[in-house]
């Protein structure tokens, strides 16, 4: 695992750019990070009990939140595919659910037992817009990147996270449910997604 650099040593060193190869968002590839939300995740549907079997349901994942939870609609336009921040959540499994079938990219690293991500495990995934994703608690991630302007994604998260993200100090946000780290400043690294 790469070691964080001090501000003075970072100022003296050149910023390292690491290219992430884009992987298809499959249930197998995403297993270390969470679960696919959609039939592509290999779920089994059952009759809802009404409607003569014309309505079938399943529970493709276990969503966890022990407090006030928000259903947020995010409209995302294209931005540079550069990752300078990674964040994790301690109290809920955050979900991203696309509307309109537009593809998007999510960059993630598995949960760690430290207060920093293992930057050698960062990966980038392309979602085709037909399924969403529910992250495990502690999964490091950056907010999704749009492949097309006007991509709409439902984000399910705790309201506490929204409040915590407003508490910015030194270019990072910290709170009881979120830890957003500036990996550029801490490690001297920027990830670029090869799309």
Q: Is the pLDDT of residue 152 over 80?
A: yes
Tens digit of each residue's pLDDT (9 = 90 or more) over 97-142: 999 999 999 999 999 989 999 999 999 999 999 999 999 999 999 9
Q: Is 107 inside a domain boundary?
A: yes
d(CA 111, CA 120): 13
Q: Which domain holds residue 172?
A: 7-194
User: How much is the pTM?
Assistant: 0.83
| Domain contains 46 | yes
Our CA angle for 175, 179, 184, nearest 5°, is 135
Q: What is the pLDDT of residues 68-99, one digit of tens each?
A: 888 889 999 999 999 999 999 998 899 999 99
Q: Which residues of 16-27 are buried (b: 16+ CB within 10 A; e: fewer)?
A: eeeebebeebee
Residue 173 lies in a domain: yes
Mean pLDDT across 42-59? 73
Residue 134 belongs to a domain: yes
Number of other CB atoms surrounding residue 84 within 10 Å = 16
When pLDDT is averaged across residues 55-79 and rounded to a whole number, the result is 82
Q: Let me know if residue 1 belongs to a domain.
A: no
What CATH number corresponds to the domain at position 100?
A: 2.60.120.480
Q: Please tell me the total count of domains within the chain.
A: 1
Instruction: For residue 2, tell me if it sits in a domain.
Output: no
Evaluated on CA atoms 158, 159, 162, 164, the torsion sign reads negative
Q: Which residue has the higher pLDDT, 49 or 90?
A: 90
Mean pLDDT of the chain: 87
* Residue spans of alpha helices (H) in 7-67: 7-12, 27-30
In a domain, 136, yes or no: yes
Q: What is the pLDDT of residue 8?
A: 43
* 26 part of a folded domain: yes
């Amino acid at each position: 695992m790469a070691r964080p650099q001090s501000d003075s040593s970072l100022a003296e060193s050149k910023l390292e750019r690491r290219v992430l190869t884009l992987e298809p968002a499959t249930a197998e590839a995403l297993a270390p990070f969470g679960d696919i939300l959609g039939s592509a995740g290999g779920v089994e549907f059952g009759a809802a009990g009404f409607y003569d079997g014309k309505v079938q349901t399943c529970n493709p994942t276990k969503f966890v939140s022990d407090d006030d939870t928000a259903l947020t609609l995010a409209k995302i336009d294209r931005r540079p595919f550069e990752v300078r921040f990674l964040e994790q959540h301690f109290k809920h499994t955050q979900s991203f659910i696309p509307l309109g079938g537009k593809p998007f990219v999510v960059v993630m690293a598995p949960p760690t037992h430290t207060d920093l991500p293992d930057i050698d495990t960062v990966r980038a995934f392309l979602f085709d817009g037909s399924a969403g994703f529910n992250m495990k608690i502690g999964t490091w991630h950056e907010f999704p990147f749009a492949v097309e302007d006007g991509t709409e994604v439902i984000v399910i998260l705790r309201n506490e996270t929204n409040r915590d993200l407003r508490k910015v100090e030194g270019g990072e946000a910290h709170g009881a449910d979120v830890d957003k780290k500036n990996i550029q400043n801490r490690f001297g690294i920027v990830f670029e997604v090869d799309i």
